[in-house]
Amino acid sequence: MSGNTFGELFRVTTFGESHGPGLGVIIDGVPAGVKIDEALVQRDLDRRRPGQSKVSTMRKEPDRVEILSGVFEGVSTGTSLAMVIRNTDQRSQDYGRLAELFRPGHADLGFFKKYGVRDYRGGGRSSGRETSMRVAAGAVAKMVLATMGVSVRACSMMIGGVYAETVDWSVVEENIVRSPDLAAAEKMVAAIRAAQADRDSVGGIICCEAHGVPAGWGEPVFDKLDALLAHAILSIGGIKGIEIGAGFEAPKKRGSENNDSILPSGFASNHAGGILGGISNGDVITFRAAMKPTSSIAKKQHTIDKEGNATEIEVLGRHDPCLVPRAVPVVEAMTALVLADLALRNRAARI
């Protein structure tokens, strides 16, 4: 299977399945001399791990990270940095009855048509559990970016039709849905629980910002910063759309309204989302990503079996009624991977 590697100079390759022995990542391109704090890697893995709240899957995985190479006495050595986590709470028997059926909303049918075989135990490589190693790699990318004064943060801006009315970044990690609005957070939880009670699920919108990115990051033409961000974010399972800056509101404006006036003190607005011509302009990079409702639901649905016969399916087992809260650190991680790669590429842009 190709497509397991992301990045050019800061290059990440992940491996492992949802119900295999474990998952891992190899990162090439981490500059030597960067302080690698294993506790920070674990912190982001804990933000993504299953079983962390009443609105997430009840699968209990500690997701304890093991750094196998590339770090000596807490500092990167410049060689390949490898990390793994072990699976400890698989219940593969929950998926036995799905071996002959294709789950609606999942990659099952596509995988089978492409390869002629599929790992039906939680979806294998198409499982959301694959993102654990993106988060581990993203934590390392954040450490590289921190040496340049760059930081990345994300939050749940909408869940189940409930929007955050205010944005207070200090409260994002103080509520189980990672909303920047505590009042909205309560309504978001209620929306998730209502769907859960109806054997259903909800989706939402994740907002992400990158601060401290200097002007000049991004490669013109095919490797534009916004193009690479779109690639990275849309590679996350369940993400169905991304809009940068004003996004889909931009077509409603006139050019005079959408252009960000340039003042001696900086830009007067940020409709561009910090990116012009595919290159960072020094303003805050901001975008929003749309995540669909969780595909695994216990409500009865129509499908077909491997022979093409019509049947019905109820996807039982332990699944998130909403993926958005646990996807927040994944969006951060993929953003950090893009920025770390472009930061290294930008060093070669001029003498």
**How does pLDDT run across 275-312, given as a tens digit for each residue?**
999 999 999 999 999 999 999 998 999 999 999 999 99
Identify whether the C-beta of residue 274 lies closer than 8 Å to the C-beta of residue 284.
Answer: yes
**How does pLDDT run across 202-232, given as a tens digit for each residue?**
999 999 999 999 999 999 999 999 999 999 9
CA gap 331, 25 in Å, rounded: 17
CA gap 175, 124 in Å, rounded: 30
Predicted structure pTM score? 0.94
CA gap 252, 273 in Å, rounded: 16
CB atoms within 10 A of CB 53: 15
**pLDDT profile of the chain (351 residues), mean per 10:** 92 92 96 98 94 74 93 98 88 66 91 87 84 97 98 98 98 97 98 94 98 97 98 97 98 98 97 98 98 93 93 84 96 98 94 83
